[in-house]
Structure 1
Amino acid sequence: MRVLMIGDVVGNIGRQTLKTYLPKLKQMYSPDAIVVNGENAAANGRGIQRAIVREWLDAGIDCVTLGNHAWGQGEVFDFIDEEAHLIRPANFPEGTPGKGMTVLSTKGGKLAVINLMGRAYMESALDCPFRTADRLLQQLSHNTYILIDFHAETTSEKQAFAWYVDGRVSAVVGTHTHVQTADEKILPKGTGYLTDVGMVGPYDSVIGMERTAVIKRFVTQLPVRFEVAKGRTQFNAVLFDFDKETKKAKKIKRIRIDDDMPLIG
């Protein structure tokens, strides 16, 4: 089983970058499943819209995950319960619209995708992601590959979570910080891990936003409106190969494309 996980897509520029490189990566790597984090995909970099989800699914993306900006576009409440391949963090409080896990039928086998969110420096009213993972994993059969998008701020929480589920899932991929890390590894019991996959969007930015406004906010400590940056682009993703028998990771390859530069990873 080969799975391509693409990092947080930011704004119109991120969607265009995804559109540019996705066909090339599909041709190059022939993944069995493609998962994309879309919580920043709307034009203003917050939330997602139905038209975006539909476009991505039509383009061959199998699952779209979300995060702390899941509700950034009001229209999401109108369709999130109807989109089987769109998931939000599973540890949102009980009664929250949508679901936190989906099971995909792919040519390589069944792939469960779970979306969870960390609590350190994030939303305070979240259920425990560790215990939520325990509950969800009990619902899955042993012949299922399992990928977790762990949307969190701190590297320590991401690492701790990966060690917690080592041997019980195929891979844990961190999202949210928008900066790709170089710590890909396979843990002792077979779970593949990357602290953060990075983002898809503007290269000359501060995590996707126009940098002058971000700097002004840090310098003045005043409220400043952020806008998605323009200009050069970056594309970040990670490719996993999972063993057919054990359902654990065999190989991890980081993917990074800065504009028309060669792939790095």
Structure 2
Amino acid sequence: MRLLFVGDVMGRSGRAAIAAEMPRLRRELRADAVVVNGENAAGGFGITEAICAEILDAGADAVTLGNHAWDQREALVFIERQPRLIRPLNFPKGAPGRGANLIELANGQRLLVINAMGRVFMDALDDPFAAIEREVEMCGLGAAADAILVDLHAEATSEKQAMGHFLDGRVSLVVGTHTHIPTADHQILPGGTGYQTDAGMTGDFDSVIGVDKEEPIRRFLTKLPGSRYEPAAGPATLCGVLVETDDRTGLARRIGPLRVGGRLAPTMPDF
């Protein structure tokens, strides 16, 4: 199976890149499944039902979220009727929606998508390690699922790396989101799990992590509140990672980063 994961979609610029590039990329990369993090898709803060539909219509099989999951209040309602929108698994009991879903793909294979949030420098949530452990035990790789993708939405690189090693040999891919900067550490861990600390964002990199740069610079200089953060509106770089798994084991055989358009140097997986 070939799995394409696309990093945090940031505002209108990121959505334009998804609409323009993702159908082509899915075709050219021969991706069997595409998962997109959409938690910043609506003006940088959350996601709406219409925007979720846009991303799915562009070719995504699932959309993951993060700490901005409920910034658009309508998400609290429509997530219940959209099983391909997946919020962090370790939200408190009673949160709407689901933190994992087993998705049947067009080729008949089954992909388990898990979304969780880290706790270091983030909101105090339930333990993501224990929460993911339970899901993997219930829906194991090679048994119920042909592949398992984990999106860990977290601030600390150490927490993301620890999760990768914790799940090594039991899932197909552990990929980090949230910090919006693509890391250069794509690798296959010793047990066969693909890993990248952060996939990066799909947004304008002439910015401060996707935000129009003047306001965050002003706040750093003055330490005073000001106007609302707005997404940068220039051309977006679509960032992501492609993993090819072994159909027999569900573990990674090859992994490569993806960057298309915008300001960053382009790169395509070489397989």
Per the TM superposition, whether the score is higher than 0.5 is: yes
Task: Confirm or deny that 1:233 pairs with 2:236.
Answer: yes
Say whether the 8 Å CA contact 2:205–2:263 is kept in structure 1: no
Alpha-carbon separation, structure 2, partners of 1:170 and 1:263? 25
For normalisation by structure 2, the TM-score amounts to 0.94
1:179 paired residue number: 181
1:257 aligns to 2:260 (yes or no) = yes
Alignment of 1:82-231 (within 5 A): 82-106=81-105, 107=107, 109-124=109-124, 126-143=125-142, 144=145, 145-224=147-226, 225-231=228-234
Contact 1:100 1:115 in 2 (8 A): yes
Q: Secondary structure at the match of 1:199?
A: coil
Amino acid at match of 2:51: I
Do 1:32 and 1:108's aligned partners in 2 also have CA atoms closer than 8 Å? no
The Cα RMSD (Å) is 1.4
User: Alignment partner of 1:53: what SS?
Assistant: helix
Which residue does the alignment assign to 1:54? Answer: 53
Task: Indicate the residue corresponding to 2:68 in structure 1.
Answer: 69
Amino acid of the structure 1 residue aligned with 2:28: M
Deviations 1:91-126 (A, max 9, x none): 0011111100011112161110000100000001x0
Q: CA deviation at 1:251?
A: 0.5
Shift of 1:80: 0.7
Give the 3-state SS of the residue equivalent to 1:22 in structure 2.
Answer: helix
Amino acid at match of 1:100: G
Q: CA deviation at 1:203?
A: 2.1
Letter aligned with residue 64 of structure 1: V
Question: Per-residue displacement from partner, 1:205-261 (whole Å, max 9, x unpaired)?
Answer: 111001111111111111132111122321101100000111100000100123388
C-alpha change, 1:85 and 1:156, in structure 2 (3 Å) is same
Q: Distance in 2 between matches of 1:261 and 1:108?
A: 36
Cα distance between partner residues in 2 of 1:12 and 1:28: 24
Residue type of the partner of 1:110? R
Q: Which runs of 4+ in 1 moved over 2 A?
A: 258-263
Q: Contact 2:237–2:264 at 8 Å: present in 1 too?
A: no
The Cα of 1:54 is off from its aligned counterpart by: 1.5
| Secondary structure of the structure 2 residue equivalent to 1:103 | strand
Supply the AA of the counterpart residue of 2:172. S
Check whether the contact 1:64–1:87 (CA below 8 A) recurs between aligned residues: yes
What amino acid sits opposite 1:117 in the alignment? M
Counterpart secondary structure, 1:8 = coil
Letter in 2 for 1:78: V
SS at match of 1:240: strand
TM-score, normalised on structure 1?
0.96
Instruction: Look up the match of 2:250.
Output: 247
Distance 2:263 2:122 in 1: 35
- How many Å separate the matches in 2 of 1:52 and 1:30? 25
Question: Is contact 2:88–2:115 with CA below 8 Å preserved after alignment?
Answer: yes
- In structure 2, C-alpha distance between the alignment counterparts of 1:34 and 1:73, rounded to whole Å: 24
How many Å apart are 1:78 and its aligned residue?
1.7
2:57, 2:211 → 1: CA distance? 28
Map of 1:37 onto structure 2: 37
Aligned partner of 1:149: which letter? D
SS at match of 2:199: coil
Bigger drift between 172-181 and 254-263 goes to 254-263
Q: Residue type of the partner of 2:46?
A: G
Q: State the SS of the aligned residue for 2:260.
A: strand
Judging by fraction of residues, say which structure has more strand. Answer: 1
Q: Per the alignment, in what secondary structure is the counterpart of residue 80 of structure 1?
A: helix
The aligned amino acid for 1:83 is: Q
What whole-Å deviation, never above 9, does each CA across 1:27-78 have from its counterpart, x for those lacking one?
Answer: 2111000000000000x21000001111222222100000000001011112
Looking at structure 2, the residues matched to 98 and 217 of structure 1 have their Cα atoms a distance apart, in angstroms, of: 35
CA contact (8 A) 1:121 1:153 kept: yes
Q: Is the 8 A contact 2:148 2:171 kept in 1?
A: yes
